[in-house]
């Protein structure tokens, strides 16, 4: 191997530090035996200092070895978690997502004397999304209350049977008293919710079995096949007859209703109005 002589250089095995070219000669390095030669030079000085050369071999049997690299085993862990949707965030233990009409009825009946609040919402409702964090805070500060969350898009048929026409919408229930109040509110009118919570949130004992939904609502749900009235307490043969009659009538109504355009959403004062 040959290289031009530089203004400054160092030889260590096969590593050379080269800075300036000198046209006065060349440096020869043998791979197995290192020999310094200076040829075709008119001067024996380098950067003002005398250079001494001899034909003596400087060292012998140098072996060039590739640098050693320590293998590193690296493992990358990739965790992919499903992002929570806004209605799934900051939920409290006393907030329950409802997935069927039967589940709604059962939760109301099993609540005993505890205050139950049904929160009707839709993923596409801006007012519902804005109000959600405050409802979660109120749920946390009132752990004895139960909040049942109903997704309108998932349970549209049930919401139609319960006559839900605006979102967000709330219903309050307790024990044998059944429904206490119902209203729609937004961030701007959250006082409605707080006032109802203060009025009906105090502990009380009611006489008689838990009522839950109204009879007409239960009949509507049973008529459309969403629940079985036979599983409900105090179910009589008269109720069974009404259920069969209502089922035939509702089949006609539902077929006409779903023959129309899909339900649209409009906005009015922060609420989402459901328009057929």
pLDDT tens digits, one per residue of 224-238: 999 986 655 555 556
> Residue 58 above 80 pLDDT?
no
> Rounded mean pLDDT of the chain?
75
* Residue 230 main-chain phi, psi, to 5 deg: -65, -20
Are the beta carbons of 137 and 109 closer than 8 angstroms? no
SS3 100: coil
Regarding predicted confidence, which is higher, 20 or 132?
Answer: 132
CB crowding 54-68: b at 16 or more within 10 Å, else e: eeeeeeeebeeeeee
Integer Cα distance of 110 and 119 in angstroms? 18
Angle at the Cα of 51 from the Cα atoms of 45 and 54, rounded to 5 degrees: 140
> Residue 171 above 80 pLDDT?
yes
SS3 54: coil
SS3 221: helix
pLDDT at 179: 97
- For residue range 24-37, list pLDDT tens digits in order: 444 444 444 444 44
pLDDT category of residue 150 using cuts at 50, 70 and 90: very high
Angle at the Cα of 148 from the Cα atoms of 142 and 152, rounded to 5 degrees: 140
**Which range scores top for mean pLDDT: 94-103, 198-207, 245-254?**
94-103
pLDDT at 152: 98
pLDDT at 63: 52
CA distances from 129 to 152, 162, 168 (A): 13, 22, 9
pLDDT at 202: 86
Mean per-residue pLDDT, 192-217: 91
Integer Cα distance of 7 and 185 in angstroms? 85
Q: Is 4 in the active site?
A: no
pLDDT category of residue 245 using cuts at 50, 70 and 90: low
Catalytic-role residue among 4, 128, 185, 205: 128
Q: Per mean pLDDT, which range of 36-40, 190-194, 199-203, 272-276 is the poorest?
A: 36-40
> Residue 120 above 90 pLDDT?
yes
Closest CA to 152 of 195, 177, 184: 184
Closest CA to 214 of 239, 182, 242, 179: 179
Q: Is 3 in the active site?
A: no
> Residue 143 above 50 pLDDT?
yes
Q: How many residues appear in the chain?
A: 276
pLDDT at 252: 45
Catalytic-role residue among 125, 136, 181, 205: 125
């Amino acid at each position: 191997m040959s290289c031009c002589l530089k203004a400054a250089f160092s030889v260590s095995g096969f590593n050379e530090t080269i800075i300036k070219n000198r046209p006065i000669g060349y440096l020869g390095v043998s791979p197995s035996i290192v020999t310094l030669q200076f040829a075709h030079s008119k001067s024996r000085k380098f950067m003002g200092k005398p250079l001494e050369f001899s034909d003596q071999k400087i060292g012998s049997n140098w072996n060039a070895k590739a640098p050693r690299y320590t293998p590193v085993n690296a493992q990358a862990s990739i965790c992919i978690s499903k992002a929570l949707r806004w209605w799934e965030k900051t939920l409290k233990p006393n907030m329950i997502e409802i997935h069927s009409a039967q589940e709604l009825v059962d939760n109301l009946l099993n609540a005993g004397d505890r205050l139950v609040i049904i929160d009707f919402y839709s993923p596409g409702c801006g007012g519902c999304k804005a109000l959600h964090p405050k409802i979660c805070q109120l749920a946390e500060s009132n752990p004895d209350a139960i909040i049942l969350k109903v997704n309108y898009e998932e349970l549209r048929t049930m919401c139609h049977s319960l006559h839900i026409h605006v979102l967000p919408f709330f219903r309050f229930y307790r024990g044998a008293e059944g429904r206490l109040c119902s209203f729609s509110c937004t961030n701007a009118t959250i006082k409605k919710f707080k006032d109802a919570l203060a009025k009906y949130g105090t502990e009380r004992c009611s006489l008689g079995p838990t009522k839950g939904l109204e009879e007409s609502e239960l009949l509507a749900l049973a008529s459309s096949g969403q629940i079985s009235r036979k599983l409900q307490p105090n179910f009589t043969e008269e109720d069974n007859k009404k259920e069969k009659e209502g089922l035939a009538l509702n089949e006609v109504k539902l077929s006409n209703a779903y023959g129309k355009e899909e339900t649209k959403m409009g906005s009015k004062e922060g609420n989402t109005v459901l328009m057929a």
